[in-house]
Chains A and B, each alone.
Chain A
């Protein structure tokens, strides 16, 4: 008995030892970077790092009226400590409240003259530099953004802003991100639907073919799957461009008088995404069609069901789980898609990933790109949970 438990334990330990290097690698170079990036969405460190003393001093302020003089003195010493930090502070606050960049710049200029000033002088001079330093709202904003955590960016990522302590949903032209999230869902849904419709006959033909033919047909599906997405996109741009073969064909056949715009718009994005995603649908669907016992087809036919009815009532329901599985993968992968919209989409076809990239590279606001990522990943996670909790049992009941 002890011998057995000991061998079990060594077997267990050896397995863990084999797994450990990869898991440790992923932990350090994959999971940790992503986790710390996502935490950035709620972090205030970008601001507290620029004004450390002020942040601490504000922590003791009760939020009524104006803060005490030492807080002003702390701000003066923080602003004098680093011009770069002061510039960052201005940029960050400006993103929250337009105009704050100037307010901070004026304070920075004033602070330079106040290195030896008393706290009372500091307060008076800062308010003189810009009257906003005498407004409780400015200090409330600062206090809010120097707490342990902030919800500002997570809310901003879904178009909710805080106005005078109230949460407000931005609508109409002010709405920035919710329309993008909706567009992302709409494009992903369309791609999934088209993949199911055109992938079904392919999966069916592969599943019904002899094993030899099936493995070659499957190869035809798999090859595009592993081909460079860039190479495929380049091919599609040539095929769909104004003087490309598709337009020539349409005009030759008299279906179009002038070249149609087929690429660099929504049509192009959806077409190329379907081309990329189709294999993900065909594989699981094909497996679920293959799993249907051949006798079912015969039984349905022997009982006199016409082929179409046999298919609708007997066969089709059995392929629903495979369809769900494939459609789900296509949908999930489409939601996070970046490359295709970037290359064959117009400005109005960019999905949420493009905005995460934009706020990282162009408009350097990592907190916002982190908040958008958090919503995107959170949404995907919720979908995965939902598919297991709800869709799984539902499929089992249907079939």
Chain B
């Protein structure tokens, strides 16, 4: 009886593990197909590929359309990141200092841009920006991207503040440090991992963003996701998979960086 029960328990464990493995495969395997396809020597998106070459990578790096889009995306994401980090970090510190009840309300307001359907925000901004003379400009895209990136900065910085011991600030104050000095020398070094994670999230949000760009962009300001979108829609070529592959590599590297930073925050929290 007991052996029977143990066996059925083991059977379930195996079943659950195999199911989970299958789901992990479902999440990750399809992404791997981009690697061989982008390295094909042919012109079709078929597997197995007729042979391997770097021709499509060369093609992308010599094509002014892709290069221009890449340049636009990098500029937009960089400006967005700088502004979102400045606004988001200040707001996170402010929210952290609030009473828990008010903090909840502030956080709810901040998270609205994360859950509101992107299309609604995009259409609303499209009409508003056109009415104030920003229509179709890079500024318009940057303003839009800041609104959806800054909330991620706030959340990331808040999570590093959660493990920050405010007695350190009191100690700094009692030793005669003015608030800005105490912030710079005491708080900032400790919450830096959170700020960097927030910056990475903000950069990725802007760099990969497509819905706002579809409405706020114009033929003269096209970003990488926008070219990718038309590429997928109109003609899937191996160049499209090269770009997709590069976006995946950049994002994966960024997420691993965030994970390593997060572990530093957790370690700091455990030490406390």
Contact = CB atoms under 8 A, between A and B. Distances in A.
B259 A222 contact: yes
B45 A26 contact: no
Given A220-B24, A228-B248, A308 B8 contact: yes
B215 A332 contact: no
A16 B16 CA distance: 49
| Interface size bracket, A side | 35 or more
B232 A233 contact: yes
Contacts of B251: 223, 226-228
B20 A369 contact: no
A377 interface: yes
B244 interface: yes
A234 interface: yes
B119 to A, nearest CB: 4
A207 to B, nearest CB: 11
A36 interface: yes
B57 interface: no
Contact of B8 (A16, A231, A236, A306): A306
B229 A19 contact: no
B177 interface: no
A193 interface: no
Nearest to B29: A239
A357 B19 contact: no
A228 B225 contact: yes
B123 A360 contact: yes
B249 to A, nearest CB: 10
Given A26-B147, A275-B26, A204 B20 contact: yes
Contacts of A202: 20, 23-24
Contacts of A302: none
14 contacts: A18-B94, A19-B90, A25-B150, A29-B128, A38-B124, A227-B251, A235-B33, A237-B236, A307-B5, A333-B115, A336-B119, A357-B215, A366-B127, A373-B119
Interface of A: 11, 14-23, 25-26, 29-34, 36-38, 40, 198-199, 201-202, 204-205, 215, 217, 219-224, 226-239, 241, 243-245, 248, 275, 278, 306-308, 311, 332-333, 335-339, 342-343, 353, 356-357, 360-361, 366, 369, 373, 376-377, 380
